[in-house]
Amino acid sequence: MSSRAPISAGPAVVWLAANSLEIALGAMLVAICAIVFAGVFFRYFLQIGLGWTEELARYLQIWLTFVGATVAVKRWAHFQLTLVNQWIPAGARRFTQIFAIAAVVALAAIMIKNGIDITRVTWNQASPVMGWRIGYLYLISPVSGVLMIFFALRHLVITLRSGGLPAPHGPVE
């Protein structure tokens, strides 16, 4: 028999897994900045136009927007009517929170359905400069919708167990 200890994920691995969407957001933001800088530098200082920089930065910005919205649902940090929750009795807040979660789930379901439809339609279309499939651009909509529903349902379980939504929070520590 072996006296080895079982393999376990270290704290860094757990942190990376828990914050993978936030890490992807940061990487996309850095990539957009580098790509736009390269485009401006090459165009205005070297007099060489890089056509792909504008297209790639635009596609990354679209993905950044959808992943950012997903992180907002994950952290329950999206737009909320906190003023309404302050004015209504504490007992009624649970119903407004459940309604808010249901609205997020419904809108995410619409994102999934319409995202799948537009991804199918554009799957074989090529982007004008880079020649990438346009379907890849629209694929983020159903993927983001699925993740939003997962996080919203997680918040629903928390709400039903504890009687209220968690306060918006930052990255997992």
Q: What is the pLDDT of residues 49-75, one digit of tens each?
A: 888 888 899 999 999 999 999 999 998
pLDDT digit string, tens, across residues 5-38: 566 667 777 777 778 888 899 999 999 999 999 9
User: Which three-class secondary structure state does DSSP give residue 133?
Assistant: strand
Cα(40)–Cα(37) distance, rounded to whole angstroms?
5
Q: What pLDDT is stored for residue 173 in this prediction?
A: 47
- What token pair was written down for 123? 């799957």
pLDDT averaged over the chain?
Answer: 84
| Block residue for tokens 């629209």 | 138
Structure token digits, residue 125: 């279309």
Region of 131 please: left (phi>0), alpha (psi -120 to 50) or beta: left
Residue 150's pLDDT band (cuts 50, 70, 90): very high
Assess whether pLDDT exceeds 80 at residue 92.
no
**Which residues, other chains included, contact 108 with Cβ-Cβ below 8 Å and sequence gap of 6+?**
73, 144, 145, 146, 148, 149, 152
Weakest-pLDDT range from 80-84, 122-126, 127-131:
80-84
100-to-149, 153, 156, 165 alpha-carbon distances in Å: 12, 11, 10, 10
Q: Has this prediction a pTM greater than 0.75?
A: yes
